[in-house]
Every structure is written in C-alpha cells, then in structure tokens.
Amino acid sequence: MFYRFLICGRALLTVAIVMAAVLISITTSLASTSAQFANVAPLPGDGVAIDSSGNIDSQGAFQINIPVAYTPRWGFLDLPVYNGHHPGGDQKGDFGNGTGFLGAGFGSHRALFISAMQTSHVFSEAKVISAQLSLLPETKNLPALSIGTQDIFEREKGNRSLYGVATKQLSIGGSCIYTTLGYGGGRFQHSFFGGLCAPAGDQFSITAEYDGYQFNTGMGWRPGGKKGWATVLVGYNGHAGMVAGIGTAFDFTKR
C-alpha cells in the first residue's frame, strides 16, 4: 500500500512540477509579441502520437506546438499539412496560414529526427530545417531526454531555436498521462515550455500545452485506430486562433 502511495505521490509531484514550470514561463515571456510558426511545429509528436520507442501509436505522446522527447527512429516518415491564422492578425479573418512539412527518423539507439517545413504565409523566410536527437530513453523512474534545434539555418532572424526536452509517461488513477517539460531559445522565447497529453482509447488524444508564447489546446482523431496512418487535428492556439489539419505518418520497415 505504501509503495502505491509513493508512486502516486511521485506522479502527482511530477505533474505539479510541469504546471509550475508552465506558470514560471508565462512570467518570463510577458514581453513576447510574436513567435515563429505559431500553429503546429515541425517537431516529434506534433500532430502525430508516438510512443517511447518513437513508433506511431495512438496511445502515445501527442502535442501541437512543442516537441516530445520521444524521437522517431529509422523507418518513420511524417507528412502533415495544417491551416490556421497568422499570430497577431484577425482571428476571424483569413484562415490562410498553411504549414506543411516532411519529417523522417534515422538511427535506432541514438535516434535522429529531421524535418523540412514550409509555410504559405511567408515563403521567403519560412523554408525551415529542424532536427532532434535522443539522449536517453525513458525508464521506469526517469523520463526520456532529447535535444534539438528548430530553424537550424535561421531563415528568420533570431529564431534559431535550440531546446532540451523531457517526456514521461505516468499512470494516475488508472489513466495514462504524458507530461512534457522543456526549455528553449528563439521561437520558444528563451523560456520553459510544457504540456500534458491524455489518450482516450485507440482513436482520440486530448492535449494542452504552453509553448513559451501561447497556450494551445487540441484533440487528435485517428479513424484507423491505434496504428492508423492518419490523424485529424483540431485545436486552438492562444494568440493565433483556430488550427486544423491532418497528419500522415508511416513506418516503411513494417508491413
């Protein structure tokens, strides 16, 4: 009984730390007025749920505009497209800030994810290459750890975004919760970011996060179930407004 109490207490403490970090990050970024790619990020776990091994899994970690530390491995291909509003614009106006990217996983033990992204709103600055490298796998007591960079070649001045991120799966009251906590520069406003994700069966994921610039909430739906290749995302970015689209992901090493 004491062991169960200890595990539950540790889980609740972890959630509390994540939420505290989120609140701290708000105070450190009150002067922020804009952020690069404020709809959906071209990073692992954004729009497509993945498990701790980096595999496609509807019951895995799922976020919108922050990375998860689970890094896809060799065989993973991701090709999503989304549409939303440009941050700072009229959220009731033109719904035309489209984003799309191609992502791929490399390696196995030390996984590497690389993505190439384009947005429709600003063509000249927005051809962006990003990457994430796994450092440590998730264990029973420790989170997965990864580091990465969004906009490696700094196509938009000041927005090369180095970051570190940790993700841990918790069981609270019999339900699975993924907690993610990280810190990043550039697009992440030199502050903490964090998120929570709750899978709901084999077809749905619900997520909430703070990305250093805004709060985001959303839901993912996979018509094909646990290993389905398509995920429909409907969400809301705190400053940019509504975002919607579809993420497609495959593992070409599996039939």
Residue found by looking up tokens 């990457």 in the block:
131
Q: Are strands 76-78 and 112-119 parallel, antiparallel or unpaired?
A: unpaired
Rg (CA), the chain: 17
Q: Return the DSSP state at 190.
A: T
Specify the pTM. 0.82
Burial 23-59 (b: 16+ CB within 10 A, else e): eebeeebeebeebbbbbbbbbbbbbbbbbbbbbbbbb
Q: What are phi and psi of 139, to 5 degrees?
A: -120, -175
pLDDT at 125: 53
CB 35 within 8 A of CB 214: yes
pLDDT at 226: 82
Domain formed by 2-251, architecture: Beta Barrel (2.40)
Element (H, E) at 15: helix 2-28
d(CA 208, CA 12): 17
How many residues does the structure list for the chain?
Answer: 255
**pLDDT tens-place values along the chain, 255 residues long:** 434 433 444 444 444 444 434 333 333 333 334 555 668 899 999 999 999 999 999 999 999 999 999 999 999 999 998 887 766 655 544 555 678 889 999 998 889 999 998 765 555 555 789 999 999 999 999 999 999 999 999 887 778 999 999 999 999 888 999 999 999 999 899 999 999 999 998 999 999 999 999 999 999 999 998 878 999 999 999 988 899 999 999 999 986
pLDDT at 5: 37
Q: Which two tokens stand for residue 53?
A: 């091994």
Q: Return the DSSP state at 16.
A: H
CB 38 within 8 A of CB 87: yes
Q: Return the DSSP state at 87.
A: T
Q: Which two tokens stand for residue 131?
A: 């990457």
pLDDT at 25: 37
CB 184 within 8 A of CB 193: yes
d(CA 179, CA 196): 5
Q: Where are the domains of the chain?
A: 2-251
- Chain mean position to CA 204: 16
Q: Are strands 97-106 and 112-119 parallel, antiparallel or unpaired?
A: antiparallel
